[in-house]
Each structure stands twice: as structure tokens, then as C-alpha cells.
Structure 1
């Protein structure tokens, strides 16, 4: 932009141009204002909850897969208790001789009845509902379909009513659903980041439009685009820090409340989703990333708008 003659003559005479704090002092020091801090606070709070949920789901899936890997259950479904006992004894002999089996445990009938009592009530302890005999089996290595088929074939030769089920098979739909929820949470986090950047972009453009005349004067007095951008950066920095702190506290509070509710379920799968140190570190970085994105977006918006206006 061409300088006025008076300013140009002053620069040619070697006088100090009107730069730095002198130039930037003409711009208002007020923040961008509006709802920007609260928008950032809401974004950070939701992101903290979504991130903690995604990490907890990831830990749950990993723990469940590790627990059921190489695990199977043999069921002997025989109404006659005497015949069932004989088949269980024969099945344990086959399992003890199989080199693929690392160990097994016959589940006591009382334990099976206690597990079914919430669904069957007291009927699970009577002869009205015959209970299957269960044998927990642990394989030496992760087995494929062929290995399970061979074991079941050997079992049925001595225990016709026996069948073997890999725990990973019946748990697979649950783990798939948890993985889908994890990816949905990650998608939500990315979406919130984009929406937050868009909010900063709009706030910066509105602030530029409201101070366009003053910015032109600063340019005429020797101020450059970088000095002007730093003023808006500082404004966004203060807003994003305040919003990030409020959102982080609110998000942690909501996360702890949800964790308390899930802990009341007293489920082994829920226990596997506990957050570890690295998870807490990643959650603590959420407001820092929010501040960085906001400041960078404000800077790029201001510089781009100023270049286009020249």
C-alpha cells in the first residue's frame, strides 16, 4: 500500500517509522468478544468426554480380547443328571489328553445356578430347569475353526451331548459394537475441532471488519500484517485459554460422574476400561490443542484477509 507523502518523506529522511507497539497501539485491545470463550468451553468439554470415552472403549476391547484369546467353554447339555455327570467325566479325560489344551476347569453346578439365578430365579436350583454342565478350557495358542472342530469331534465320541464354543466367537458382536462406538467418538472429536476452528475464523473476520479503518491507518504508519495478526492472536489466546480451562473442568466433572455410574455395574468388562496414565495425559492435552488450533486459525485468517485486501 502506498504511503502518504508526509510519511514517505519522513522515512526518506531517516526518521524511525511508526512500527511495533506504536502502530499496534492504535488497534483496540479488547478481545474479539461475543460467545467465543463459551463456544470453546463447550467444544473442550464435549471433546474431553468423547476422548475419555474413546480411550475407555479402546481399553475395554483390548482387555476383553486378551482375556478371551484362546479361551473356550465346553457345554454338556443333558437333562439326565447321571448321564450328564458321566459325559462330563469322559470329556475331561479327552481334554486332559489333548496337547492343544493348556488347562481346564469344571464349573461347579452351584456356580452355574448362581449365574443363571437373575434370569431363572429359584428355578435354576431345582430339577425343573436342568442346567448344562460347563467346562472352562484354556488353549495353548489361539485356535482356528479347524482346531475347535477337531476338539468337538473328539469330545462327541465319548460325550454325544457335548459342544465347544470359543468365547471370542460369542463376544465378537459386542467387541465390534464397542469398536464402532470408539470410532464414532473419534469422529466426533474431529468434527468438534473443525467446528471450533470455524467459530474462531468467523470471530476473527468479524473483528477485522469492525476495525478495517484503523488497520488501514496502521498500515499507512508503517505497521505490517504480522504486527496486526499478533494483536488478534493475543485476543484469541486469552479467550481460548479461559474457555479451555472452563471446558476442561466441566468435561472432567462429567467424565467422573459417568465413570461412577458405570462402576456401579460391577462388571468385569467395565473394569477393563479403566484409564491409565497415558490416557490421562492425552486428555490433559485436549485444552492445549484447542488453544493451539484457535491461535493458529486466528493468525491464518487475519493474514489471509489482510493480503487479499491489499
Structure 2
């Protein structure tokens, strides 16, 4: 009878440490908010990184040749000679003249009707695709080739135009990664405060468990389980809302019609990394709670 009473008392004490209701206290909601922000920051870092890699791969081997000649007939003749020389040059995969009508449509937002009237001497453009390999050395060779043909030829690598943008996107990606790290540290701090508060508010219950023969490890496991459940529910809730927001933003980016903006996207490995974050958050919360409670119990002795 005495043993049964002791077990009932221990069970009642454990129930006081592990209340049945979930999402009732602030802990799960705080974890949900922090996981929501963590997943969004991680998605930004992964998406920006993918965009920079895609941009670098697409533009590393591309360049544009400008034929700066005011006379239309001389410009057309020089463009034809340049196109023939480029197609025969080493390191050039393809060379294609840009349609003047397409170029005029792209210049119309800035020049208006003057882009198609013929009043302005718009340079002719040749799109050049290099073979894989040492792009800077091949561009230097093409510069020497073009300078020998005419001083009115200029070559510009596409990567040079977007280099500042790539640097900005890289910096924003690292900033997002730093935000993820700060959110992880903040989550650990919140769990420490919650574990300390739970320990201080349940000291009488802990004393009863000690009298029933429970060890510090067993008591810490109870706190670990309680905070772990809160962290799992909060992490799942935060991840769900974050995934919905990411999908919504992805649809909006795709609707812009810009290849550069659409490149800021998540592939399958990126989604897998995001899916690991809630699991990592729950494990971090449980280990932090265990360490905090064990340390508090050790000091109390």
C-alpha cells in the first residue's frame, strides 16, 4: 500500500511538471515565431546563393560586341566582317547578330520613338558565347582580334554589368545566414529562460520527486520532455506558416517575368535544408533544457 501511494504521489508530481494542455502557454508560440523568422532568413540565404550561382554560370562565358559606327551602311558592313571573324575565332562557341528591331524595342522605354526613327545612331550588337574554360584569357584574345579589325569595335563581358548586383546579392545572402545564426542563439536563450523559470516554479514538486527516489537525470528528463514537446509543436507551426509565405513569394516572383528575379528560388536540396530546421530546433531545445535543469539541480545541492 505504501509503495502504491508513493507511486501515485510520484505520478502526480510528474503530472504537475508535464501539464496535459499544449499551445496554452507562451513557450510554443515564441518558438513558432522564432522558427518562422529562422526559416524565412534561411530561405533568403539559400535563394540568393542559388541566384548568384545561376547568374555567374550563365554570364561567365557571354559577351557583347558593339559596332559603334554612325553611318548605317558602314555599320552593316563592319558588323558582317566582325561576325565572320568571331565565328572563326578560337574560343568562340557561337556569335549571332542582335536583331535591330529587338534592340529598338529594348531601348524604347529610355529613348522613346527616337530608338526606331533612325535619327539616333544606335550601335549594332553581336552576342558572343564562349567555349567553357578560361573566359578572361579568351576575352583578351577577342579584344586583340577586334582591335585589329577596327577601332570602332568594343567587347563587354556580360558579367561586368551585373558584378555589383552579384556582390549585393552575396552580401544579402551572408546577412541572412547571420540572421539564422542569431535566431538559433536567441532560441537557445529563450529555452534557457523557460527551463530556469519552470525549475524555480516547481521546486516543491522537485523535492517530492527527490523524496520518491528520483535522480537529477530523471527529473531533467521530465523538463526535457515538456520543453521538447512545446518546441516540436511550435517549430512545426512556425515552419508551416513560413513554407506558405515562401511559396506565395515564389509565385509572385515567377509572375514578374524577369529571369534574374525568378532565379531567386529554392531547389529540392534547399527545401530539405529548411525541413531539417524544425527538427534541429526541437533537438536544440531539448538538449538546452536538459543542460539548464541539470546545472540548476547541481547548484541546488
Does TM-score exceed 0.5, indicating one fold? yes
Equivalent residue for 2:78, pick from 78, 87, 104: 87
Instruction: Summarize the Cα distance change of 1:17–1:220 in structure 2 as closer, same or farther, 3 Å threshold.
Output: farther
- Counterpart for residue 4 of structure 1: none
Aligned to 1:222, what secondary structure does the other structure show?
coil
Alignment deviations for residues 164-202 of structure 1 (CA, whole Å, 9 cap, x no partner): 111122222111111111111111111111101100100
Q: Is the 8 A contact 1:230 1:299 kept in 2?
A: yes
Instruction: Summarize the Cα distance change of 1:23–1:110 in structure 2 as closer, same or farther, 3 Å threshold.
Output: same
Aligned to 2:154, what secondary structure does the other structure show?
strand
CA deviation after TM superposition for structure 1 residue 108, in Å: 0.9
Instruction: Summarize the Cα distance change of 1:100–1:210 in structure 2 as closer, same or farther, 3 Å threshold.
Output: same
Counterpart CA distance in 2 for 1:111 and 1:21 is: 83
Unaligned runs of 5+ in 2: none
- Counterpart for residue 201 of structure 1: 192
Counterpart CA distance in 2 for 1:126 and 1:294 is: 68
Instruction: Summarize the Cα distance change of 1:23–1:227 in structure 2 as closer, same or farther, 3 Å threshold.
Output: farther
Q: Is the 8 A contact 2:94 2:130 kept in 1?
A: yes
- Counterpart for residue 289 of structure 1: 280
Alignment deviations for residues 88-108 of structure 1 (CA, whole Å, 9 cap, x no partner): 122123212311222111111
Counterpart CA distance in 2 for 1:193 and 1:24 is: 34
Structure 1 residue 220 corresponds to structure 2 residue 211? yes
- Counterpart for residue 223 of structure 2: 232
CA deviation after TM superposition for structure 1 residue 292, in Å: 1.0
Q: Is the 8 A contact 1:18 1:223 kept in 2?
A: no
CA deviation after TM superposition for structure 1 residue 18, in Å: 9.8
- Counterpart for residue 68 of structure 2: 77
- Counterpart for residue 138 of structure 1: 129
- Counterpart for residue 26 of structure 1: 13
CA deviation after TM superposition for structure 1 residue 238, in Å: 2.1
- Counterpart for residue 154 of structure 2: 163
Equivalent residue for 2:93, pick from 93, 102, 116: 102
Equivalent residue for 1:121, pick from 98, 102, 112: 112
The structure with more helix, counted as a fraction of residues: 2
Unaligned runs of 5+ in 1: 1-14
17-26 or 91-100: bigger deviation? 17-26
CA deviation after TM superposition for structure 1 residue 118, in Å: 2.4
40-49 or 50-59: bigger deviation? 50-59
Counterpart CA distance in 1 for 2:28 and 2:137 is: 60
Aligned to 1:285, what secondary structure does the other structure show?
helix
Aligned to 2:112, what secondary structure does the other structure show?
helix
RMSD (Å) for aligned C-alpha atoms: 2.3
